[in-house]
Chains A and B, each alone.
Chain A
Amino acid sequence: MLRFTDEHEWLRLDGDVATVGITAHAAEQLGDLVFVELPKVGARLTKGEAAAVVESVKAASDVYAPLSGEVTEVNEAAVGDPASVGADPQGAGWLYRLKLDDPSAMDALMDEAAYAEFAK
């Protein structure tokens, strides 16, 4: 299941673990990324709190936790090569994986068509 937030993050659910990243629309708006900071594996995230940071040459942007849960894995390759996030934000440029407290909370988020409309 692929869902999107109004804060321009995407989540792909596999079991009860969601992979999280920034949307292609967000990546395009941000421009060339030069720095990525990710949460620590094992960190507890509460929906809405700053979980990661992506920075372009000109600005830093917080990436908020789209739902609550525990971080199970982070994309170290994105930290080493921030440009990879901009190049493939919804694929190889994923940021972290989150074991959701309540996987059914995904249902309240936007599907791809709704997000495409939202991001217009």
Chain B
Amino acid sequence: MSLQAAGALSPAAPTPSDPLAQTPLHALHLRLGAKMVPFAGYAMPLQYAAGLLKEHLHTRAAAGVFDVSHMGQIALIPRSGDGAEAARALEALVPIDILGLGVGRQRYGFLTDGAGGILDDLMVARLPDRLHVVVNAANKATDLARIRAHLPDSLDVTLVPDALIALQGPKAADVLARLAPETAMMRFMDVRAVDILGAPCLVSRSGYTGEDGFEIAVPAARAEAVAEALLAAPEVMPVGLGARDSLRLEAGLPLHGSDIDAATSPIEASLAWAISPARRRGGAREGGFPGAEKILAEMEAGPVRRRVGLRPEGRAPVRAGAPLFAAENGGGAVGRVTSGGFGPSLGAPVAMGFLPTALAAPGTRVFADVRGQRLPLVVSPLPFVPAGFKRG
């Protein structure tokens, strides 16, 4: 067998000649016995000694710490000091309501292109004097260039060099409250500046696992101390990118570069919910983002195809790239699996993919080609596991 695939994770690594960047937690990963793999130009932990399966299940049962410092953190700072100026400016690139976003709140969105495709998905946090945007690692250079090119010179747009640590799972809030009691009051998608072990951190109650949890931006020099303090809690285990991927797949969350990309519109991607009412047809600030005409028309007419959840009926995982068919025999491919694997919390394979709208209703049976055989899958609602967010 080839062991090349054993460490594989998309997005693909650059050519081996490119030196890999290291996160501020690199030495800690090595001490913890992580298996390091290239990911989006960084050396990242795929898994630790416990292994992917245990790391996944532990995150759902208690809490996991993830190094996500490879992601891009971009600050948009208006020289005027007026946060609304940054909000208004960024609205020209994303279909979400940022002006209406309260200070200390965060919203999910995406950068669209003129054809209505998704250049990247992101989180935007509104702070009193700035916006803090978190983007995907593989896209951070192009995102930064695009934001700089399209925003007025009156804003400083900079990459924030902080580490980013995710603490995820039903025990995450208990763990963080011991280090920073004020985080206990935060609700899902709240953002606030918090002191942790004397380090000025930016904490958001959000994540990429479907669980309650936090993402914590920490100055690089203090990142290891904060990560070690979190790991010292008995509920916490270090969790690698492997389990991060299986957790987000069970949670029904798309991965840019796999499930969504510039050839995918937000409507097709079943992300219409993220387009704020203010930016929709008839909204207070209708349109005004790249590809608005196409996206808003598609929102009304309905998409031709949709991103759906898929549950294979058998035990064989159905992986990304598998073509989808309407029938067990004959006929051309009608869609494609974009993410797929084994869902440890379900003890069964799970997948996501695109299907024509006529085949996208939950309960519809379709077939995927796996090693020359057509295996049955059932279209299933997303997420596969119930979300544990603290909305109240």
On A, residues with C-beta under 8 Å from B are 7-9, 22, 26, 29-32, 34-35, 37, 50, 53-64
Contacts and interface: CB of A to CB of B under 8 A. Distances in A.
Q: Which 10 A-B pairs have the closest CB atoms?
A: A32-B53, A34-B342, A59-B5, A29-B6, A61-B1, A57-B342, A29-B3, A63-B1, A57-B52, A30-B6
A56 B316 contact: no
Contacts of A22: 1
Grouping DSSP codes into helix (H, G, I), strand (E, B) and loop, the B interface class, with mixed when no group exceeds half, is mixed
A26 B3 contact: yes
B2 A56 contact: no
Nearest to A37: B316
Interface in B1-33: 1-3, 5-9
A32 B341 CA distance: 13
B88 interface: no
A30 B342 CA distance: 14
B342 A8 contact: no
Given A31-B52, A56-B52, 18 more contacts: A7-B1, A9-B1, A26-B1, A29-B3, A29-B7, A31-B51, A34-B344, A34-B349, A35-B317, A37-B316, A53-B371, A55-B342, A56-B6, A56-B342, A58-B341, A60-B317, A61-B2, A61-B5
A8 B47 CA distance: 22
Contacts of B8: 58-59
B223 to A, nearest CB: 26
Given A31-B52, A32-B51, A58 B315 contact: no
B224 interface: no
B126 interface: no
B206 to A, nearest CB: 24
A90 B317 CA distance: 24
B162 interface: no
A105 B3 CA distance: 24
A64 B1 CA distance: 6
A35 to B, nearest CB: 6
B242 interface: yes
B305 interface: no
Contacts of A59: 5-6, 8, 319
Contacts of B51: 31-32
Interface string B240-251: 001101100000
Contacts of B341: 57-58
A47 B51 CA distance: 33
16 contacts: A7-B1, A26-B1, A31-B51, A31-B53, A35-B315, A35-B316, A50-B371, A54-B1, A56-B52, A57-B246, A58-B242, A59-B5, A59-B6, A61-B6, A62-B1, A64-B1
B336 interface: no
A31 B2 CA distance: 14
Contacts of B316: 35, 37, 55
Contacts of B56: 57
Interface in B93-127: none
A50 B208 CA distance: 36
